[in-house]
């Protein structure tokens, strides 16, 4: 294993990818944790630091864990929201807007496994959050969306304060007095059928699928590139990790913040 995974990355866009992108009208970009990691958002495992280090993921990110200890789960999500607010979209998030504006491109849909709002903040509007949204809340009992009375307009953007990390009782639903939960998909829950159907529809209509910052091998999200491959649609995996399945997919070992701006530049260059 190379000591610095980035050193083995190539800045040169694979010519075949440039050809595929230039020919594409409807692009689907499936993004995973690697995309947010470049903005400094830790992967799930790494968010369990400090106070949370001793808790099992199933206690913090499951419906059963929430039922057992709602304050523990809500407090942890409050901490994750504070952390994400301090981060900014990276060059990869922004490059997707430029990719959408290339000649011939009619649509670019982002289907993300990430629950942060970095795609939105970079300007993506055609966006599906497969695993939900960290900044959305809903009632655990009646499912109604919950909007706080007094959204904290002034965010503390200072460095994280470990003192803030503690169990915090969630608010109550105004309709049924149920507990309010984050609008994310937990380990013991299914994806929203509406989101999934919408994601499948876009993939069925795509003529280029990019899988960015993900190995593309975690199910059910991995069914989406599989679906594209079956239709003969080019699928490119852009990820720095080794060991990608390249039997039917093409891979470029690079990261979102490096590869996506380079791809845009490569497509814009005169032939």
Give the footprint of Zn ion on this chain (CB under 5 A).
139, 141-142, 173, 175-176, 178
* Residue placing its CB nearer to Zn ion in the complex, 172 or 253: 172
Distances (CA, A) of 106 to 114, 199, 271: 24, 17, 22
Residue 101 CA to residue 250 CA, distance in Å, equals 23
Q: Name the catalytic one among 93, 119, 129, 131.
A: 131
- Three-state DSSP class for 197? helix
Give me 194's structure tokens.
Answer: 């509406």
Q: What is the DSSP string of 94-150?
A: HHHHHHHTSTT--EEEEEES--SSHHHHTT--SEEETTEEEEEEEETTT--B---SS
**Shortest Å distance, C-beta 192 to Zn ion:** 18
Rg of the chain in Å (alpha carbons): 20
Annotated catalytic residue 131: yes
**Shortest Å distance, C-beta 186 to Zn ion:** 18
**Shortest Å distance, C-beta 181 to Zn ion:** 10
Torsion angle defined by CA atoms of residues 121, 27, 185 and 145, in that order, rounded to the nearest 10 degrees? 60
Q: Measuring CA to CA, which residue among 252, 246, 212, 243 is closest to residue 229?
A: 246
* Residue placing its CB nearer to Zn ion in the complex, 123 or 145: 145
**Shortest Å distance, C-beta 70 to Zn ion:** 14
**Shortest Å distance, C-beta 188 to Zn ion:** 20
Q: What is the DSSP string of 52-88?
A: GGGS-HHHHSSHHHHHH-HHHHHHHHHHHHHHHHT--
In angstroms, how far is CA 19 from the centroid of its own chain? 26
Burial of residue 100 (number of CB atoms within 10 Å: 0-12, 13-18, 19+): buried
CA atoms within 13 A on the CB side of 86: 15
Omega before 220 within 30 of 0, i.e. cis: yes
CB-based contact 229:248 (threshold 8 Å): yes
Query: What are the residue numbers of the active site?
Result: 131
């Amino acid at each position: 294993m190379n000591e610095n995974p980035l050193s083995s990355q190539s800045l040169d866009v694979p010519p075949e990818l440039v050809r595929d992108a230039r020919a594409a009208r409807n692009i689907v970009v499936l993004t995973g944790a690697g995309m947010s990691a470049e903005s400094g958002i830790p992967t799930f495992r790494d968010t369990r630091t400090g106070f949370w280090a001793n808790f099992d993921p199933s206690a913090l990110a499951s419906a059963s864990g929430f039922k057992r200890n709602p304050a523990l789960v809500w407090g942890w999500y409050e901490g994750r929201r504070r952390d994400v607010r301090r981060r900014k979209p990276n060059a990869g998030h922004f490059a997707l807007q430029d990719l959408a504006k290339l000649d011939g491109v009619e649509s670019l849909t982002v289907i993300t496994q990430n629950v942060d709002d970095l795609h939105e903040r970079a300007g993506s509007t055609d966006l599906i959050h497969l695993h939900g949204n960290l900044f959305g809340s809903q009632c655990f009992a009646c499912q109604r969306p919950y909007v706080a009375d007094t959204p904290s307009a002034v965010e503390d953007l200072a460095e994280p304060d470990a003192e803030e990390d503690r169990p915090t009782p969630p608010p109550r639903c105004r309709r049924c007095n149920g507990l309010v939960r984050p609008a994310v998909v937990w380990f013991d829950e299914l994806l929203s059928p509406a989101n999934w159907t919408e994601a499948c529809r876009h993939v069925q209509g795509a003529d280029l699928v990019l899988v960015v910052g993900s190995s593309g091998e975690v199910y059910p999200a991995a069914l989406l590139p599989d679906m594209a491959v079956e239709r003969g649609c080019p699928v490119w995996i852009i990820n720095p990790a080794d060991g990608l399945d390249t039997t039917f997919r093409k891979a470029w070992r690079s990261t979102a913040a490096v590869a996506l701006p380079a791809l845009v530049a490569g497509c814009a260059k005169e032939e």
